């Protein structure tokens, strides 16, 4: 059970970018401790900057650094199921061509989806199932209906380097995804609590709702600019579901450290 979070901010927003990233990371830290990472992009950037490492969130939190001009962010903590975290390419954010993304869930037909694409599994021994999502996004130009080819459970977010300024988020079945909207921008996270932690440490008040299964949103400059429906895989059944809290000590350590960073 992984954790995902991120934001799309109004470029003129005065919210402290690094602190917002740290708050989201600390709040989802309990959902996985096998690896941690984040990616960001500013209004004038074509390419995403990716930072990731094979540690729990507590070993990255203090060193998170997001430039103040950045207005697009993805954050991930990993509890791996497929794709060993000793292979850096398996850890999130994951790249497929121009798409960089994060995922919570399990994709069961990833090998089938990736087989036709020569740019798949670009790094030696890369096997993470999440790459299939970003391959579909890349090759369909972010068409929501293309996500119907995926089998399994999914909550996800990605940046497409061909679409400056846009953050995509989508929820299939079997995994939660919460959206928080404010004047300063749009935030998303695996849990409502993560958005509440953000409100506690930054001057922002969010209108919070759980995203419906089978929905893709495009976020740009702190606003939802596109909504599309798709049919999620409702037949997938997780035979041995993992608990949502995988690293309870990480959340406590990270929230304590966050309080010190925000003081």
- In terms of residue numbers, what domain contains 255? 3-262
Q: Considering only CA atoms, which of 160, 163, 204, 200 is closest in space to residue 185?
A: 204
Contact 242, 104 (CB under 8 A): no
Strands 94-96 and 35-41: unpaired
On the CB side of 17, CA atoms within 13 Å amount to 22
Q: What is the pLDDT along the chain (263 residues), one digit of tens a residue?
A: 899 999 999 999 999 999 999 999 999 999 999 999 999 999 989 999 999 999 999 999 999 999 999 999 999 999 999 999 999 999 999 999 999 999 999 999 999 999 988 888 988 889 999 999 999 999 999 999 999 999 999 999 999 999 999 999 999 999 999 999 999 999 999 999 999 999 999 999 999 999 999 999 999 999 999 999 999 999 998 887 777 888 999 999 999 999 999 98
Q: What is the CATH number of the domain that holds 193?
A: 3.60.20.10
pTM exceeding the 0.85 threshold for the entire prediction: yes
Give the DSSP per-residue string, 11-62.
TT--S-HHHHHHHHHHHHGGG--SEEEEEEE-TT-SSPEEEEESS-GGGTGG
The domain total for the chain is 1
């Amino acid at each position: 059970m992984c954790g995902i979070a991120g934001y799309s901010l109004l470029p003129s927003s005065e919210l402290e970018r690094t602190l917002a990233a740290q708050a989201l990371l600390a709040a989802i830290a309990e959902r996985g401790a096998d690896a941690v990472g984040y990616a960001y992009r500013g209004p004038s950037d074509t390419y995403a900057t990716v930072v990731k490492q094979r540690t729990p969130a507590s070993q990255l939190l203090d060193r998170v650094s997001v430039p103040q001009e950045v207005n697009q962010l993805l954050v991930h903590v990993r509890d791996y199921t497929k794709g060993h975290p000793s292979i850096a390419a398996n850890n999130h954010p994951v790249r497929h061509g121009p798409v960089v993304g994060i995922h919570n869930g399990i994709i069961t037909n990833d090998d089938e989806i990736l087989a036709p694409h020569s740019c798949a599994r670009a790094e030696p021994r890369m096997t993470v199932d999440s790459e299939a999502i970003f391959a579909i996004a890349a090759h369909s130009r972010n068409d929501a209906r293309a996500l119907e080819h995926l089998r399994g459970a999914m909550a996800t977010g990605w940046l497409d380097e061909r679409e400056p300024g846009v953050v995509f988020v989508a929820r299939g079945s079997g995994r939660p995804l919460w959206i928080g909207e404010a004047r300063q921008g749009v935030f998303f996270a695996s849990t409502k609590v993560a958005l509440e932690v953000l409100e506690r440490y930054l001057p922002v008040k969010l209108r919070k709702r759980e995203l419906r299964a089978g929905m893709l949103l495009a976020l740009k400059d702190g606003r939802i600019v596109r909504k599309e429906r798709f049919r999620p895989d409702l037949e997938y059944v997780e035979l041995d579901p993992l608990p949502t809290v995988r690293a309870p000590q990480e959340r406590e350590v990270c929230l304590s450290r966050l309080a010190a960073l925000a003081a």
